[in-house]
A and B are shown apart, each in its own frame.
Chain A
Amino acid sequence: SQQGEEDPQALSIQEGENATMNCSYKTSINNLQWYRQNSGRGLVHLILIRSNEREKHSGRLRVTLDTSKKSSSLLITASRAADTASYFCATVLVQGAQKLVFGQGTRLTINP
């Protein structure tokens, strides 16, 4: 079964709005990572947040982590058409630390 579960599965917003995607996981993690996948392409790493961190920023991206709730969120501010993609969270488990376990992804569509 998947360790990470993204919510929502699909999100459609207008250009300029903020987009928020959530990820929940089941077991203790070392860190959590977010990746973007454009249609027909490989995955690109966006941001990594460690289990002892609560928030990280990178440009228009903001990631939060709540280990007590076993959840993370990815916020994209001032969205652009080029942000249209699928977004995946991936967790590095404390047990079996060599593996990166992916969720099912959120399909984000930015309408011009």
Chain B
Amino acid sequence: NAGVTQTPKFQVLKTGQSMTLQCAQDMNHEYMSWYRQDPGMGLRLIHYSVGAGITDQGEVPNGYNVSRSTTEDFPLRLLSAAPSQTSVYFCASRSGQGWNEQYFGPGTRLTVT
């Protein structure tokens, strides 16, 4: 299994540009989530999904959209990038059966200038 994969690894955007961060998992996990990690802030939950077709907001959802059309994929869209969105983004997944460990992707480092 490849586990949780994320693309791209690095991205530089100009203010106002849009882009999609890709996340995929091959473990048939129902639950997927997106976090951002800023220095000294730990990980903060952006959006999450408990299954295909179901998404919900986390702690810091503003400026981000998600969709979950398949079990495998959970893309994160930035509609109009802002410098405050400069961060490292992690996707994670876990089985929906009970509370198990989360598996994290390697992260995407995003810089907005």
Give chain A's interface residues, CB within 8 Å of chain B: 2, 4, 30-31, 33, 35, 40-45, 48, 88, 90, 92, 97-105
Give chain B's interface residues, CB within 8 Å of chain A: 4, 31, 33, 35, 40-45, 48, 50, 56, 58-59, 90, 92, 99-107
A30-B99, A48-B99, A99-B48 as given contacts; A43 in contact with B42, CB under 8 Å = no
**What are 23 A-B contacts with C-beta separation under 8 Å?**
A31-B99, A33-B101, A33-B102, A35-B104, A42-B90, A42-B106, A42-B107, A43-B90, A43-B92, A43-B102, A43-B104, A44-B104, A45-B102, A48-B100, A48-B101, A88-B42, A88-B43, A92-B99, A98-B31, A98-B48, A98-B56, A100-B33, A104-B41
Query: Which B residues touch A105, using CB under 8 A?
Result: 42
State in angstroms the CA–CA spacing of A104 and B39 once bound together.
9
Query: Which A residues touch B48, using CB under 8 A?
Result: 98-99
Among A45, A88, A90, A97, chain B packs the most CB atoms within 10 A around the CB of A45
